[in-house]
Structure 1
Amino acid sequence: MIHLCIDKETKIPINIENDNGIILIGVIKNLNAHFQMPIVGKTYNKEKDYNEAIKHIEEHITLVKEFTEKGQSLDFENQTRLHVEECSNRVYIKLDFNGYYITGFTNSTNNKRGYFDFIKAYNKYNFFQVQISCKENNKCLFYTINGNVTVNKR
């Protein structure tokens, strides 16, 4: 929920719909290996928006698609950067694909649990998985990046 501040005591709640998709940050848990993969990305609602994002990503970074039999792609040059800013009740995320950006805020539910899980796993392993997916057609682009994370607090 976003609040429009009129003055120090007057705040009006504003519910802004985002029909483009959702930003995500957290971990993927592998129960068999007792491993948590830090993950960040965006899930687009519409195939058109997803395809446009993938097109721009491929124009800006060198990506080898579907390198493994599970469909994982590779950013051999490690060009993707992640900027995370912890705010009081949510998290701002900026994925930088060498000049093309996917940005957004997480929602304010769950007390930033996904963010804290991500930071803990990232600090342990120093890599993260990028996942760009589409709700409409179930397509997904995902790959792992070593380092390249900046975290700030407001």
Structure 2
Amino acid sequence: MPWKRTTSLAAVAALAVLGLTACQSEGSDAKAGPSATASTQAPADGSGDSATSEAPATGGVEKPDDLPAGLPLPSGKLTSVTGSTGAYVLTFSAQDPQAVIDEYRKALEGAQYTVVDIAGVFTATSDKTSVSVATGGDTVVLTLATL
């Protein structure tokens, strides 16, 4: 079943809410104990090197094992991963985020993703994968949803 633009927008909106909720609820809750959301952060010492889209630096943060096969990742240092199976928010730091976005867009198009610009953010969809990419400051945020 091909992705529709509405489906992509709904997936991006749902994942954005998931990401914001996870960021706000990270840590522990006095009633519920530790947060159930998977989240990792890079070490504060700034370790990790610059990377290419084939092998992003992780700086101690592990990329999810269940990412779709053939999904390219942005260059830059992976600084955090939030989410769970099939729905993740990956954050990368980059000295030139706009260059990273331009490079990543080309990588997605080369991997046969359909790319659509929506209000300063772009989404890329394939058969069962939807990716939304945005920047802010020196950060590139990738929101991923899979069926």
> Normalising TM by the smaller chain, what interval?
0.3 to 0.5
TM-score, normalised to structure 1, is: 0.32
Higher helix proportion (structure 1 or 2): 2
Higher strand proportion (structure 1 or 2): 1
Q: Which has the higher contact order (CA 8 A, sep 6+)?
A: 1
TM-score, normalised to structure 2, is: 0.33
